[in-house]
Chains A and B, each alone.
Chain A
């Protein structure tokens, strides 16, 4: 009788600690971006940017975040060129997301350059984080 109860407690506490860790990563990064001038970041702006289409002169002339990730953060996406499955972006659907600062910075750099043709500003990155973490 005690075992299911224990498992339940364990599950809940693991869940809480994971959720906290994820918040800590996001919080710490938001602070960094704020110190770099991201004073008016918000999830709405993040959503707008996520769905916005950018022009490119190369292959895939119309590019957006949704090109690979889809417009729904809770579902899996697919790499536009290689077809490789991309796990959902929303931490609620994929608990690994937004838990590793280095990884977040790596993908911001790569994907902003591919999609927008330039690196994202601190404000844009902060807005993306707020939108994805919502």
Chain B
């Protein structure tokens, strides 16, 4: 009986002592929640080291959520002429990358912006350039050439992270836009 009492006392003490810890934790949880919601509005960030190495050596590692699976399939079958560059991979690596792209493509992603990309593409179309998808064009239709294609610090709409400062984290939020030489972009 004494044993049970002392066990109860220990449990009570732990519960009491841990209360402030749980309260203290609530800030952290809110932080996490915000981050989750923030992320879910964009596209999935790329963390896979193989993908970052193989696809991120020459350009920003574009999130697989920016194009549908059919586009990625087409792209991965023509790496010897990858927009004019040679990006050939060995068979094993090519396979792994293709699987990763397909599992996270715009038509499979839960991220809001990825879904928007996917919805804008006509079924049967498999665009290779993210910048040629209807959603992308719609989002950038007010931007004058002087800010991007004629801007030597940007040069092309393909260079997302030239203006979208959090592009690599999967966020294309308007507040994070800084156009080199022009600054913030207000729609």
A contact residues vs B (CB 8 Å cutoff): 58-60, 79, 81-84, 102, 106, 109-111, 113-114
Contacts known (A82-B59, A84-B58, A84-B59); A110 close to B155, Cβ less than 8 A: no
The reply on B85 being an interface residue by CB < 8 A is yes
Q: How far is the CA of A42 from the CA of B137 in the complex (A)?
A: 51
CB distance from B56 to the nearest CB of A (A): 8
List 7 contacting pairs A-B, 8 Å CB cutoff, sorted by A.
Answer: A58-B84, A79-B58, A81-B58, A81-B84, A83-B162, A106-B89, A114-B86
Question: Contacts A82-B158, A82-B159, A83-B159: A110 and B87 contacting too (C-beta < 8 A)?
Answer: yes
CA distance A60 to B85 in the complex (A): 11
- The answer to whether A111 touches B84 (Cβ under 8 A) is no
Nearest Cβ on chain B to A28's Cβ, whole angstroms: 18
CA distance A113 to B80 in the complex (A): 9
Given the known interface contacts A82-B159, A83-B155, A83-B159, the answer about A111 and B86 at a Cβ–Cβ threshold of 8 Å is yes
Residue in A83, A109, A114 whose beta carbon sits within 8 Å of that of B85 in the complex: A114
Bound complex: CA of A6 vs CA of B120, how far in Å?
61
Within 8 A of A (CB), among B79-136: 80, 83-90
Min CB gap B66→A, angstroms: 16
Bound CA span A83–B163, Å? 14
Q: CA–CA, A106 to B86, complex, Å?
A: 11
CB neighbours of A111 from chain B (8 A): 86
Residues of chain A contacted by B58 (CB below 8 angstroms) = 79, 81-82, 84
Q: How far is the CB of B178 from chain A (nearest CB, A)?
A: 16
Rounded to whole Å, the gap between the CB of B165 and the closest CB of chain A is 16
CB proximity of B97 to chain A, nearest CB, Å? 13
The CA of A111 and the CA of B81, in the complex, are separated in Å by: 12
Which of these, A79, A102, A113, contacts B59 with CB under 8 Å?
A79
Contact of B88 among A79, A81, A110 (CB under 8 A): A110
Alpha-carbon distance between A36 and B110 when the two chains are bound, in angstroms: 51
Q: Answer yes or no: B60 CB below 8 A from chain A CBs.
A: yes
Binary per-residue interface labels of chain B (139-165) against chain A in the complex, 1 for a CB within 8 Å, 0 otherwise: 000000000000000010011001000
Nearest CB in chain B to that of A109: its residue:
B88
Contact of B90 among A79, A81, A106, A113 (CB under 8 A): A106
Do A81 and B60 have beta carbons less than 8 Å apart?
no
- Name which of B83, B85, B90, B162 has the most chain A CB atoms within 10 A of its CB: B85
Residue of B with least CB distance to A60: B84
Q: Pick from B60, B87, B88: contact of A84, CB below 8 A.
A: B60
Contacts beyond the supplied A79-B58, A82-B59, A83-B159: 15 A-B pairs with Cβ under 8 Å: A60-B84, A79-B59, A81-B58, A81-B83, A82-B60, A82-B158, A83-B162, A84-B57, A84-B60, A106-B90, A109-B86, A110-B86, A110-B87, A113-B80, A114-B85
